[in-house]
Amino acid sequence: MAEKLKPANVRGGLSAAGLRIGVVASQFNSFITDRLLAGALDALQQAGATEEQIQIVRVPGSFELPIVAKKLAASGQFDSIICVGCVLRGETSHYDVVVSETARGIQLAQLDTGVPLIFCVLTCDTLEQAIDRAGLKSGNKGYEAGLAAVEMAQLVRKIAAKSGAASGGSTKSASRRGRRR
């Protein structure tokens, strides 16, 4: 009988040591986004991050998150960036446009730069749903985003290190090349 396959698993860690994390936070619906931001900062602190490792940039609304996140990512100064926002459904189709373009913009910025951009934009039908996701019944999605930022930064570093070793390049240069694309 053939042996079972046991492929290697590569995972990111949850230590923020040596990482630089950016946070882009929407000011619109600040009642919610401030709670998400607090949750993200709590997770980063528990992962070992210090104030010096984190930079917060405020934007007017969720629609403005992608351009600022992309500029931060393209700077080469950050290992991951958390995008914090909250869009609540209204009576018009404005919600659909903002949600769709914000998500698309963040994804494109992530793919263009090679820096993990963590999507922490609540897209809720009601304020009550948003409140539940910003620290009540459903936990704090900001906290989850903080952990995801650390894990993805570590994972990208590991992959870059393996790529650099395979191609004969150094880990630092492979990591920098990936962030400057």
**pLDDT of res. 3:** 87
- Please report how the helices 141-167 and 171-180 are oriented relative to each other, as an axis angle in degrees rounded to 10: 120
**In the prediction, which pLDDT does 52 show?**
98
Average pLDDT over residues 88-105: 96
Residue 58: predicted pLDDT: 98
- Residue 1: band (very low, low, confident or very high) from pLDDT cuts 50, 70, 90: low
Q: Does 172 have pLDDT greater than 70? A: no
Pairing of strands 139-140, 134-136: antiparallel
- Which residue among 94, 104, 176, 181 is the active-site one? 94
Mean pLDDT estimate for the chain:
91
Q: Is 94 a catalytic residue?
A: yes
**Partners of residue 22 on adjacent β-strands:** 55, 81
Give residue 178's pLDDT: 44
* Residue for token pair 């304020």: 127
* Per-residue model confidence as pLDDT tens digits over 73-93: 999 999 999 999 999 999 999
The pLDDT of residue 4 is above 80: yes
Dist CA 108 CA 100 (whole Å):
12
Residue 177 has pLDDT above 60, yes or no: no
pLDDT digits (tens, 9 = 90+) for 140-154: 999 999 999 999 999
- What average pLDDT does range 159-173 have in this prediction? 65
When pLDDT is cut at 50, 70 and 90, the band that residue 160 belongs to is: very high
CA distance 132 to 130: 5
CATH superfamily for domain 21-180: Lumazine/riboflavin synthase (3.40.50.960)
Distances (CA, A) of 96 to 87, 99, 106, 145: 9, 5, 16, 23
pLDDT of 166 reads 64
pLDDT at residue 167, as a whole number: 59
Give the pLDDT band of residue 136 (cuts 50, 70, 90). confident
